[in-house]
Amino acid sequence: MKMQRYRRALRFFLLFLLLSALPASSCRAAEGAAAVIEILAAGDIVPADRMFESNAATRLFSQEARRRIEQARLFIWNCETSGLSSRSKPNTFTFHAHTDLFSQLYFPNGVASTANNHVFDGYQEGAVALMHALHQNAIRHNGLHLRGEYAPLLATPWAKPDIYLLSGSPMSQIGSGPDIVTLNYPMLRERIALLRAGAPEAIIIVYAHDGLEFRDAPTPRQRQWARLFALAGADIVLFSHNHRYGPFQILEDTPRRTFVAWSLGNFIFGGNLQWRRHRDVRLLSLLVDPASGRKEGRWLYGATHDWEFSFDDEHILPQPRLDALPMPGRVPVPAQGFN
C-alpha cells in the first residue's frame, strides 16, 4: 500500500514538472480556467539558532514531503529570522539565519513572507543579509523592501488566475530602516485596495504577523484588520506569531467570502529545541475554486525528526477536489494546542 501511494505521488510530481516546464501560455491553457487550486501555507520557519547546536540540521524535508509540497499551486511560509549581522536588538530572543540551509527552503512554487518581529533582529544589516540569502537561493519573498518601492508579489506568473502575496505586520517596524522597511497595517490595506482595483480577477493573499503568543483565539486587532483587509479586496488572510495552530473562518459577509487562518503556528522552528523532534507539525491546505470563489481549508499533519519534516502517510497524496470535501471552512475549526 505504501509503495502504491509513493508511485501515485511520483506520477503527480512528474506531471507537475511537465507543466512547470511549459511556457506560461501553454501552462495556462493546459490547466483551464476552472481548475481547483491548492495553496499550502506554513507558519514560522527559523533556519537558525538551535538547528546548529548538537544534532545539527542536515535535511529539512523528506523526499516525499518535498514532492507533496511541489504538487500544490503555491507554497507560502513565514521566514521568521534576520540574516547574519554584527549586532543584535537587545531582546531575549533574537534569530540570525545561517545561509547553509536556505538552499533547502527553495521550492519552484514557493514564496516567503518577510514581515515579522524577527526580520530586523540584526537591524538593517541583518535584513539586507536576509534579502541577499533569499536572492542567492532564488527564494521569492514579500515584506522587506526598499523604502518607497513596495510592490505586491505575483506569486504564480506561470498560471492563471494570477495569485498575489502581500505581507505586513504591526510588529516589524522596531529596528527597521532607514532604507529597508516593511508595511504597517494601514499601508497594507491601501495596497490591497489598489491591487484589487487593477486586478479584479486575481486571488489576493495577505500574510500578516500578529497575535498573542501561546493563545489560540484571535485578538481584537486581528479581527478588526482581517475584516478591513477583506473589505479592501483580500481573498485569503493568513496570520502567524502565536506558536499555536488556531482556527479557520470564512468571513461570510465580506465581498469575496474571505478565508482567514487565525494562527498557522510553527513549522520548522529552529528557535526552540523541542521542535527538533515534534510529533505535531502542520501545514494548511487551502483549496480555492476560482470560478465560484469557494474556499476550504484543512490541516495536513506531519512531524519532525532531527529537524527533518515528513508528512503522515495519508497526506503524501494531493487533496481531493472541492466538490468531494465537507465544509469545515464555513465555521471556525476548534483550535488545537501543542503536545
Residue 231 included in any domain: yes
Residue 24 included in any domain: no
Residue 11 included in any domain: no
pLDDT of residue 2: 46
pLDDT of residue 316: 58
Residue 265 included in any domain: yes
List the chain pLDDT tens, one digit each, 339 residues.
444 544 444 444 444 444 444 333 334 434 444 589 999 999 999 888 788 776 677 899 999 999 999 999 999 999 999 999 998 887 767 888 878 889 999 999 999 999 998 999 999 999 999 999 999 999 999 999 999 999 999 999 999 999 999 999 998 777 788 999 999 999 999 999 999 999 999 999 999 999 888 888 899 999 999 999 999 999 999 999 888 899 999 999 999 999 999 999 999 987 777 888 999 999 999 999 999 999 999 999 999 999 999 999 766 555 555 554 443 333 333 333 322
Q: Name the domain count of the chain.
A: 1
pLDDT of residue 54: 63
Range of the domain at 260: 36-330
pTM for the full model? 0.84
**CATH classification at residue 147:** 3.60.21.10
Residue 7 included in any domain: no
SS3 for the chain is: CHHHHHHHHHHHHHHHHHHHHCCHHHHHHHHCCCCCEEEEEEEEEECEHHHHCCCCCCCCECHHHHHHHHCCCEEEEEECCECCCCCCCCCCCCCEECHHHHHHHCCCCEEEECCCCCCCCCHHHHHHHHHHHHHHCCCEEECCEECCCCCCEECCCCCCCCEEEEEECCCCCCCCCCCEECECHHHHHHHHHHHHHHCCCCEEEEEEECCCCCCCCCCHHHHHHHHHHHHHCCCEEEEECCCCECCEEEECCCCCCEEEECCECEEEECCCHHHHCEEEEEEEEEEECCCCCCEEEEEEEEEEECCEEEECHHHCCCCCCHHHCCCHHHCCCCCECCC
Residue 25 included in any domain: no
Residue 9 included in any domain: no
Residue 27 included in any domain: no
Distance CA 271, CA 257 (A): 35
pLDDT of residue 257: 97
